[in-house]
Structure 1
Amino acid sequence: MIRPVAVIGAGPFGLSTAAHLRARGIPVRVFGDPMVSWRDHMPEGMLLKSTPAASSLDCPQSGYTLADYCDAAGTRRLVTDEDIIPVETFTAYGEWFQQKLVPGLERVRVVSVDRADNAGFALTLESGESFTARAVVAATGLSGLAHLPAELAVAAPGGPAPTGPVSHSSQHHDLSRFVGKELIVVGAGQSALETAALAAEAGATVRVVSRGRGRVAFGSPPWKQPRFRPASPFGRAWSLWAFSYYPHPYRYLPDATRHYLVRRVLGPLGAWWLRERFTDRVQVHEVERVLGAESRDGTPVLTVRTHAGRTERLTADHVIAATGYRVDIAAMDFLGYELRTRLAVSRGTPKLGPGYVSSVPGLYFTGLSAASSYGPVMRFVCGTEFASPRLAEHLAAAHG
């Protein structure tokens, strides 16, 4: 019996990788709840920052782009840079892609992955089933990687929680629960600014606290983009073009440079279409840093240092940390202890070689967990165009 490849995760990168492997005739078992992060961990009413051209899942066959889904569903076609994608539309597109190209998906959690005695990998499922795979692709996306800075974690000793004083932006799908409440959103990226705007539109009084160099700013609309620079899915700039289409040499950069670029390239910046909804509805408090947080009878209090050097205390009914995600192998608890100790890592992220393979032969990582090796494009759906065919090609050659 031919052992299958196990793909763990059913978001854009997992589904795209599985489609490429299936097209090569490689037996695949795919595990996860399709598009769950987009369906359950993004705020209702959210609009994607990415353009339609940057929002299609890559696959070897034609006919499965976002525009193709719109045609099949009979909805308005989303194709130009000025078309804005509702998260509900993108989620439905991913589920349609899965039904068409990855029909055998198994909605069960992988509990553990370890090396098998006879080569390959031993997997145990939440259902109790155990089996051996010849290779494993970890495409778990944002799951378990929500980052809460230490200075905010003090006010949430049990971890961030929607009903506690401090939560993470990924824990809120319905922001209407904050009607009539005072809300602080910490962050300056698209997640922070859009969460703030949606909460304000729902009836909350909202203040955004941005830290350090994370000044609140918005991108330029498509018609104001410079015309004499190469186009990329993220805008017109030589650096964005290089990161989008030529990430091959990225993994050869020094560790410090790679991690810095992942954080800063395409860093905190609101979408051009969000400015009008945000301005005059949300108060902005730009500070040098958040010094700490505490909870007084369930009410969060932030202590901040302003850019003028003053110390201030800010209170609200609730604090949402829109502070992004941080890859950490230690948080991927489905990986067995032996596997985790054998993995070469850099600042908690796997160091990947050609074809997205890790230092453990047969164990691959794609999506956000590959960003420190292949660059900022791996944080976005359009990264599937580079990652999925190369991963599938390497895996087929090494384990075909």
Structure 2
Amino acid sequence: MYDLLVVGAGPYGLSIASHAAAAGLRLRVMGRPMASWRDHMPRGMFLKSEPWASNLSDPGRRRRLDVYCAEQGVGARHGEPIPVEMFASYGLWFARHAVPEVDERTVTRVRARPGGFEAVTEDGEVLHARTVALAVGVMPFVEVPGALRDLGPSLVSHSSHHGDLDRFRGKDVTVVGGGQAALETAALLAEQGTRVRVLARAGQLNWNNVPPAWERPWWESVRTPHSGLGCGWRNWCYAERPGLFHRLPETTRARIAATALGPAGAWWVRDRVESAVEVLLGHEIAAAYGTGGGVRLEAVTRSGGLTSLETEHVIAATGFRASRDRLGLLAEELRGGLAAEADGSPRVGRDFESSHPGLFMAGLVTASGFGPAMRFVHGATFTAGTLVRGVRRRLHTGPVSGRIPAPGNGRGRGALDTVRR
């Protein structure tokens, strides 16, 4: 029986595991490390967040991104985006040095059982744990516009379904969306010779500004402080005070979670889009039909007019919707019993614990509870420390309470299990 089973090995799962190991919990970590970053982002993409805001979290803060980059002879400087491949490699380095060995098998089902939980792996092994932390990232929550859902994967895909874009060389592709994923995907497609256009329902594209220098006059820093989510006091509060965000009224949290930090392109991709990509603004897809050579899209313009176009493939860069109902690995009776926020995401308490005792949540699925920071790697630091404290409290006070080993380096005999990769 494990004290904590961490399901997911991305930035949040690995950060939680690092804090749990240091706290001496008997721990098991499941999932392919950094899977979304390694398998679902095309070569050539960059992190939108600043390097200093993209650290995974270990209690001693020794395994930062800049430390890894320095070991590789690469700079991690403010205002210079980091390649996704470098960030994925950093995550693997973090996993080797800051957490127990990760079991790369997928957990297919989690059920509540007396005394805790039962988890079933892809090959049928059954694991038991007193508490579970779900850090499943974004892939369960892929959102595709309704008009596109009935078309098969040969005609429609989501931007997160591509580890590379080579299959689209020489083809005609329409990217739907107006945020960073849409714009950077379109730029990469254009640069490899794909005929590409962006179709967005917004009337204009938004672009993030070049960040101000790290070293600047004190009065500028006071007026618009740097934060992990960008400059300004509002962003600073979202990034650095998610615990205070959690205390806001539910309606206020829901509104902010739905509207803050809306779709926008990074400053460094703007020239690549504007010089090479056709952009159709104010178009919302009303219908889509398969044709002999691809897809015919019918769209409604902002003035109410109708327009149509034909393309060989549609990439929906339309984000994610982190609802409770999409947590398919939870058994139906467990999933259906979870209290939910207004947007359908699981409601979590101050320690990221769901309404089912011992079941903790992390990452995008907690954005309605703790704010926009949970949509970014930056939120992993607050989450990891807070969630592990909650796990310790649950183990002390719950019906399956037991003594927690004294904090240590997480690698002492008996402190945790080393499991097979």
| TM-score between both structures, scaled by the size of structure 1 | 0.93
Q: Residues of 2 paired with 1:102 and 1:127: CA distance?
A: 24
Task: Give 1:297 shift.
Answer: 2.3
Q: Relative to 1, partners in 2 of residues 1:123 and 1:49: Cα closer, same or farther, differing over 3 Å?
A: same
Which amino acid in structure 2 is aligned with residue 89 of structure 1?
Answer: M
**Matches of residues 344-383 of structure 1 in structure 2 within 5 Å?**
344-346=339-341, 347-383=343-379
Report the equivalent of 1:21. Answer: 20
Q: CA offsets per residue over residues 160-184 of structure 1, 9 Å max, x none?
A: x2xx111110111221221221111
Question: What residue is the counterpart of 1:210 in the other structure?
Answer: 200
1:33-91 per-residue CA deviation (whole Å, 9 max, x = no partner) reads 0001000101111111111011110110232000111122x23120x322210000000
Whether the aligned pair in 1 keeps the contact of 2:34 and 2:91 (CA below 8 Å) is yes
Number of paired residues?
Answer: 389
User: Runs of at least 4 residues of structure 1 off by over 3 A?
Assistant: 223-227, 251-257
Establish whether residue 193 from structure 1 lines up as the match of residue 192 from structure 2: no
Identity among equivalent pairs (%):
40
Q: Following TM superposition, by how much is the alpha carbon of 1:246 offset from its aligned partner in structure 2, in angstroms? A: 1.3
Aligned residue for 2:286, secondary structure, equals strand
Letter of the structure 2 residue corresponding to residue 221 of structure 1? V
1:253-293 per-position Cα deviation (integer Å, ceiling 9, x unaligned): 44444333223211111111111211120011002522221
Which residue of the partner structure matches residue 75 of structure 2? 77
- RMSD (Å) for aligned C-alpha atoms: 1.7
State the partner residue of 2:398.
none
Q: What letter is aligned with 1:77?
A: G
Quote the Cα distance in structure 2 between the aligned partners of 1:147 and 1:252: 28
Residue 127 of structure 1: how far off its partner (Å): 2.6
Matches within 5 A, 1:1-400: 3-72=2-71, 74-78=72-76, 80-117=77-114, 119-154=115-150, 156=151, 158=152, 161=153, 164-212=154-202, 215-223=204-212, 227=221, 228-346=223-341, 347-399=343-395, 400=404
Structure 2: where are the runs of 5+ without partners? 215-219, 396-403, 405-421
Give the Cα–Cα distance (whole angstroms) in 1 for the partners of residues 30 and 345 of structure 2.
22
Instruction: State the distance in 2 between where 1:137 and 1:269 align.
Output: 31
Q: Distance in 2 between matches of 1:57 and 1:198?
A: 27
Q: What code does the residue aligned with 1:76 have?
A: V
The alignment's TM-score, normalised by the length of structure 2, stands at: 0.89
In terms of mean alpha carbon deviation, does 218-227 or 29-38 score higher?
218-227
Change in CA separation of 1:298 and 1:254 when aligned onto 2, cut-off 3 Å: farther
Q: Return the letter of the residue paired with 2:208.
A: G
Deviation at 1:296, TM superposition (A): 1.9
The answer to whether the 8 Å contact 1:52/1:81 transfers is: yes
Distance 2:230 2:101 in 1: 37
Q: Name the CA shift for 1:12/1:235 in 2 (closer, same or farther; >3 Å).
A: same
Instruction: Give, in angstroms, the shift of residue 314 of structure 1.
Output: 1.7
Letter in 1 for 2:79: E
Inter-partner Cα distance in structure 2 for 1:115 and 1:175 = 41
